[in-house]
Amino acid sequence: MRNKTLSLILVLFAIQVNAQTARDIFQPSTPITWLGLDFTEARFIGDRERLGSHSDVLHLMEAINQLVINEPTKYDVAAAIKRPKVETAINVTSNHNAQLDVSELLSDQAKDYQRLRPSDIQQIISDYNFEGVSGIGLMFNVEAFSKPDESASIWVTFINLDTKEVLWTQRMLGKPGGFGLRNFWGRSVYSIINDIKKKEFEVWRKRNS
């Protein structure tokens, strides 16, 4: 009987640990893991000349992901979500992005700038391999880098990594700038992180209070 009781306690504890909700995102004591930028459904609009090869696109995706890690003071994900620090596991997105057919990511269609819905983000997450990372993860799902619009469209997504459930996702826009493809589009990521830090995280918290 004692063993059965202990087993039940352990099961209930496991359920409690995995039962992450949207409210947990806004509890400063809840650890969050930064997973990096996902390009599964991304479209690079109107920049075929500079993204002319498979390797050019792969290099850009990896370079932007690494930029956030290499310049943590500027790309301060932890401060944006009101944490003293975040764990990092960008290998999750880097490994996933490396398997994409990048020929499908190049576009000349203006409509590709705004075409995804929360259900599309959930589908992306459902197909991910989180490589043993657990808890709550934060991923940026790139919808488009549009040169004609001079804007990036990115879904900011919090995930229950144990169940692959999207806890919260919000489309945001970022203004690019600077020299070179990496810095140009990296600036848009910085812009979004800064907007989350200054205003959006508090707005989201109030919606979930």
Q: How confident is the model at residue 15 (pLDDT cuts 50, 70, 90)?
A: very low
User: Percentage of the chain with pLDDT > 70?
Assistant: 90
**Average pLDDT, integer, range 159-178:** 96
d(CA 36, CA 86): 12
Q: How confident is the model at residue 84 (pLDDT cuts 50, 70, 90)?
A: very high
pLDDT at 17 over 80: no
